[in-house]
């Protein structure tokens, strides 16, 4: 009798394996599914929200750039003097940039007397004798974004978001800084400013300094 039972168990064992394999495949099929990559990316974007460059720029402007601008800016006359005598020290000490290369940005401040006003800029004569221009028409590039060194490239997932921040900051300057500057700029008037300048370390030219104004009064 025991032999008969053993033979029955042996005959039934293959069916047990088959049932187990079918059950495993059923569970695996219902646990794993495939989606198109575009669908996954779309779901991720919907969950995290699209990057808002305008909101980021406004927050950066109000909470970081403006509060630290005057204290973190180098006097422009002092910088120009150092650039003429020790260029490497000036760039090492005061310049900022998110990437490598010769293009560097400086956060500067100063006060000058208006000597000319055009559609594109306001020309100032500094107490040290240098002449500089405050841009009022062509506000573009990364100077205002990068000059303070307060934005880090690691904050962004891609270069598009980073570039959009530059555009949004420049838009703030056009809307909030330029109109009162142009209204106040009259020959003979003194204007105190904080702004950003772009210089090329390998091809340095100091005879035509243009400042992107961050504040001017």
Tokens of 82: 């150092």
How is 63-79 classified by DSSP, letter by letter? IIIHHHHHHHPEEHHHH
CA–CA distance, 116 with 122 (Å, rounded to integer): 6
CA–CA distance, 181 with 188 (Å, rounded to integer): 14
pLDDT digits (tens, 9 = 90+) for 128-153: 999 999 999 999 999 999 999 999 99
% of the chain residues with pLDDT over 70: 78
pLDDT digits (tens, 9 = 90+) for 149-189: 999 999 999 999 999 999 999 999 999 999 999 999 999 99
CA–CA distance, 103 with 142 (Å, rounded to integer): 10
Q: Does pTM surpass 0.85?
A: no
pLDDT attached to residue 18? 46
pLDDT-derived band of residue 71, with 50, 70 and 90 as boundaries?
confident
CA–CA distance, 210 with 196 (Å, rounded to integer): 9
Tokens of 63: 């909470």
Distances (CA, A) of 181 to 56, 133, 176, 190, 212: 25, 12, 9, 11, 12
Closest of 65, 93, 212 to residue 150, by C-alpha: 65
Query: For the chain, which residues make up each domain, given as ranges?
Result: 2-33, 52-216
pLDDT digits (tens, 9 = 90+) for 186-201: 999 999 999 999 999 9
pLDDT attached to residue 215? 96
CATH number of 52-216: 2.40.50.420
Q: Is the dihedral of CA 5, 10, 14, 20 positive or negative?
A: positive
Three-state DSSP class for 131? strand
pLDDT attached to residue 69? 86
What is the β-pairing status of strands 74-75 and 95-96? unpaired
Tokens of 117: 């006003």
């Amino acid at each position: 009798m025991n032999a008969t039972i053993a033979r029955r168990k042996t005959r039934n064992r293959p069916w047990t394996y088959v049932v187990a394999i079918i059950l495993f495949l059923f569970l695996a099929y219902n646990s794993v599914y495939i989606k198109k990559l575009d669908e996954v990316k779309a779901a991720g974007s919907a969950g995290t929200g699209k990057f808002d460059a305008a909101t980021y720029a406004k927050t950066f402007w109000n909470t970081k750039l403006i509060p630290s601008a005057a204290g973190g800016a180098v006097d422009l006359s002092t910088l120009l003097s150092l650039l003429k005598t020790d260029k490497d020290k000036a760039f090492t000490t005061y310049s900022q940039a998110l990437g490598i290369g010769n293009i560097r940005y400086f956060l500067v401040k100063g006060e000058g007397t208006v000597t000319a006003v055009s559609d594109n800029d306001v020309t100032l004569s500094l107490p040290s004798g240098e002449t500089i221009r405050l841009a009022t028409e062509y506000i573009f590039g990364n100077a205002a974004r990068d000059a303070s060194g307060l934005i880090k490239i690691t904050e962004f997932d891609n270069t598009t978001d980073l570039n959009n921040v530059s555009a949004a900051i420049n838009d703030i300057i056009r809307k909030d800084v330029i109109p009162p500057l142009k209204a106040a700029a009259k020959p003979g008037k003194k204007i105190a400013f904080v702004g950003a300048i772009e210089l090329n370390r390998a091809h340095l030219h100091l005879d035509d300094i243009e400042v992107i104004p961050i504040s001017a009064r």
